[in-house]
Amino acid sequence: MPVVALENVTKSFGALTVLDGVSLAVEPGQVVAVIGRSGSGKSTMLRCINGLEQIQSGRIEVAGHVLENNKTALRELRQDVGMVFQSYNLFPHLTVEENITLAPRVVKKEPLAEAKATARNVLEQVGLSEKIDAYPEQLSGGQQQRVAIARSLAMHPKVMLFDEVTSALDPELTEEVLRVMEGLAKAGMTMMLVTHEMGFARRVAHVTVFMHKGKVWESGPSERIFSDPQTPELRQFLASGLK
């Protein structure tokens, strides 16, 4: 059974159709890269999966929860879905440890000791154990993004969504974040990532989805998508993107 399943999802902002009948399935342990031009609907799709955007029609099921417009149900679903943003969005008034323990304590009502133990674990996973007492402003962009990943991991999500998480970073900082994500993939985490890092998508993602004009234009095993694109749109996109 897939962890994430989209069936014929449509979404529009006013007259503008952003998602036009998108269907997609992500199996447990699978890493799915979503590529496409800006405005192709890839980020919106990701944001629909945990209900940050509402869909107009279709069906989304995530980790056994059917997405519906009901606050309580939505919160249940979000506990199983981690999300990492382009702009990190750490809470500036909290230390790294507090950033990580806040949701487990407040949302899941975990005891402090347990939440702190989890925090130490996930920080080690992203290689930032020594920054546990730092404030976000004291960290580099790459470090902040790794803390944001750790913050999501602390909720023990069944799937992680990455929304262009390296777009705001310099190349060397991008590298350290990608390394953390590759580690997660190897450890068996189910992941969906909207990305411009074609090399990373090709190497790490099992499946790559090319979105165009709000549709899944082409998808398949990453190796095939990159070495043997079928549609002219994807060929053109890859030619322009790979420099």
Partner 1 sequence: MIRSFGWNEFLILLRATEWTILLSLISFAGGGALGFVVALARTAQHKTLRWIAVAYIELMQATPVLMVLFLVFYGLGLFGFDIPPLIAASIALIVYCAAFLGDIWRGCIEAIPKQQWEASEALAFSRWQQLRYVVLPQAAKISLPPTVGFLVQVVKTTSIASIIGMVELTQAGRFVNNATFQPIKVFSAVALIYFVLCYPLSLWAQALERKMNAGRRA
Under the binding rule (CB under 8 A), the answer on residue 162 touching partner 1 is no
Which residues, other chains included, contact 67 with Cβ-Cβ below 8 Å and sequence gap of 6+? 48, 49, 51, 55, 59, 60, 61, 74, 77
**Cβ(121)–Cβ(128) below 8 Å:** no
CB of 196 to partner 1, least distance (A): 20
How many CB atoms are closer than 10 A to CB 59? 14
In the list 85, 162, 217, 226, the residue contacting partner 1 (rule: CB under 8 A) is 85
Under the binding rule (CB under 8 A), the answer on residue 168 touching partner 1 is no
Instruction: Find the part of the chain contacting partner 1 (CB under 8 A) among 13-21, 75-83, 128-136, 229-237.
Output: 75-83
In the list 71, 109, 232, 240, the residue contacting partner 1 (rule: CB under 8 A) is 71
CB of 74 to partner 1, least distance (A): 8
Q: Which is nearer to partner 1, 125 or 219 (by Cβ)?
A: 125
H or E segment and range at residue 180:
helix 171-186
Q: Quote the tokens at residue 76.
A: 């249940």
Contact string 40-59 vs partner 1 (x = CB under 8 A): ----------x-x-------
Cα 31–32–37 angle (5° rounding)? Answer: 145
Phi, psi of 20 (to 5 degrees): -125, 80
Under the binding rule (CB under 8 A), the answer on residue 89 touching partner 1 is yes
CA 120 to chain centre: 22
Residues that bind partner 1 (CB under 8 A): 50, 52, 71, 75-76, 78-79, 81-83, 85, 87, 89-93, 102-103, 106-107, 148, 151-152, 155
